[in-house]
Each structure stands twice: as structure tokens, then as C-alpha cells.
Structure 1
Amino acid sequence: MLKNLTALCVLAAFALPVSTALAQTAAAPASAAQTGEAPVSAAVTPPAPAPAAAPKRCDFALTLQSDEIFEHKKSVQLSVLNDKGKERIDNEVIAKLANCAKVDLIVVSGHTDLSASHAQAQKLSEKNADAVVAYLASKGLSAPMDTMGMGKTQQIKACDDKLPKAKLAECLAPNRRIVVEGRGLAK
């Protein structure tokens, strides 16, 4: 008898919430029909707010051919920006930076070709990158700037070593370059 009573209690515990929910559901339309009101539907939860849009970036990378923008003074081992170089930096780098609300970092990397020794190529690539950063600073850019001399480690064009010297220099020209990268938030 105790087993039957326990089973009956368990059944009643499960049946009561189900029967109560059924009774409430059945009663809602009847009472709405009696009052002449439209039935009330279940409350709709508003959709979750859309995540905030990521801030727009003003990141860019620009490659400048070093033969076009530098006058190399071999006797004093200096890299001097020529007028064309200054104009290109003004029009292609500073103009892009004007679209930034905040500049996080400017990285300038210098690259050379295979024609010089490793030590000479490294020194020249560093001097070229330093010259661009110095020019940017002279234009009032106060963002953090870093330079990297890549020397002849990242060649983008291979040429036949058996070409005459002038043709080889012309073929290797794409390897002599300055890459200016900017990272920041757009206006």
C-alpha cells in the first residue's frame, strides 16, 4: 500500500503542473472571447542589440621605388631624398595619413638589390628608411615611427647575373624600394 501511495504522489506531482498549464491555456482564449478583446499573445523579447561596429581603420602600405626618390651619394654613404621623392611622400603617404584620426605606428622598411655586399646593402637600406622617417618628422608627423633595414633579404625580382651591368641594374630595380606602412584609426 505504501508503494501505491508513493507512486500516486509522484504521478500527482508531475500531472499537476501539466494540467494547470493546460487549464490556463484553455482559459485564456475563453475569457478573451467573453470580454470581446483580442487574445493576448506571449510577450516577444526584443532582439539583442547588434554588436558595435569595429572602428574603421586607415591602415595602408605603399611601395616607393628608391631609384625614383633618392640621390645616392656613394662617396659619403648618404641617401638624400630628391624633389620627386619628397613630392611622392607628400602626395602618397602624408595624404593617406590625413585620413587618420589617430596614427598608431608608421613602419618604414628599406630594401636593396643583390649588387652590393651584405654589409653595404644593409647599411644603405637602413639609411634610406631613416631618410624617409626624417622627412616625415620634418613635415610634423609625430606618430610613433620605426625603421627597418632589410638589406637584400627580400628580393621580389630575380635576374640573370650574366646580363650586362646596365641591364642587370635595370632588371634589379624593383628590389630597390622603400615600403611605408601606416596603422591607425580612420576619421
Structure 2
Amino acid sequence: MAPQTIQRSEGKAKLDDLVSKAKAIKLEVILAVGHTDRIGSDSYNQKLSEKRAAAVKEYLVAKGIEANRVYTEGKGETQPVTGDKCGKSDKKSKSLIDCLQPDRRVDIEVIGTK
């Protein structure tokens, strides 16, 4: 899998904040779960969600988090947060792409103790 990059500056800022907080605790594990919107095939979206989670892991490791503490998983398009608010159409349009933006994400869970 080719290296991915975190493309949005607000994403980098959130990850940088997560790194500083993780370094302040006794870190057990970080779980990064990638998600996609419904546009595209199931298999493409599954791979894309895995790549998104892997990009987060790569970023966290580059910032000093131990690689063996970060686990990744891809959920594809199976857990949208937009629900029905974007309509049922899969016809690719700018308005649909914009509406589905929240579905394109990586959820991160940090487990550790102070």
C-alpha cells in the first residue's frame, strides 16, 4: 500500500493535539477506524477506509507514537453519520459529495491511564 497523507490542516491539528495528550498518559492503545461515503463500489470503499486509517497511523508514528500501540481498521461505507439527510441518490454531484463529507472520516479511540 502506498503511503497516504493527511490532507486537511484541521485534521493534522487534531492529530497533533491527540499526540500531545497521548504522550501525557500511560498509553495502552490507539484504534483508528477509517470510513467512506457511499459513492463508489463496496470493495473500493473498503480499501479506501483502510488507507485512511493507515494514513493516521503513519502520521501518529511519525510524531513519536509507538507503532505497536496503534491499530487500524476500515469500515468502508457501512457506518455513515449522515443517515438519510443526503437523499437516496448515488448520482455523483457536487451537492451530494458536499453533503456526504462527514462520512469521509477516521474515528480515533485512545485507551490509557493518567
Tell me whether the two structures share a fold, i.e. TM-score over 0.5: yes
Change (3 A) 1:155 1:185: same
**What is the rounded CA distance, in whole Å, between the counterparts of 1:112 and 1:162 in structure 2?**
14
User: What is the aligned residue count?
Assistant: 109
Within 5 A, what are the aligned runs for 1:56-135?
Answer: 79-82=4-7, 84=9, 85-91=11-17, 93-100=18-25, 102-135=26-59
- For structure 1, the 5+ residue unaligned runs are 1-76
Structure with the bigger RCO (C-alpha within 8 Å, sep 6+) is 2
Partner of 1:165: 93
5+ long unaligned stretches in structure 2: none
Q: TM-score, structure 1 length as denominator?
A: 0.53
Tell me how far 1:114 sits from its aligned partner. 0.3
Q: Distance in 1 between matches of 2:65 and 2:32?
A: 13
Deviation >2 Å, runs of 4+: 85-88
- When normalised by structure 2's length, the TM-score is 0.84
Please name the residue that 1:140 is paired with. Answer: 64
Q: 1:124 to 1:164 in 2, by over 3 A?
A: closer
Aligned counterparts of 2:59 and 2:90: Cα–Cα separation in 1: 38
Closer/same/farther in 2, CA of residues 164 and 117 from structure 1, 3 Å limit = closer
**Over aligned residue pairs, what C-alpha RMSD do you find?**
2.2
Q: Secondary structure at the match of 2:100?
A: helix
Larger Rg: 1
Sequence identity percentage: 35
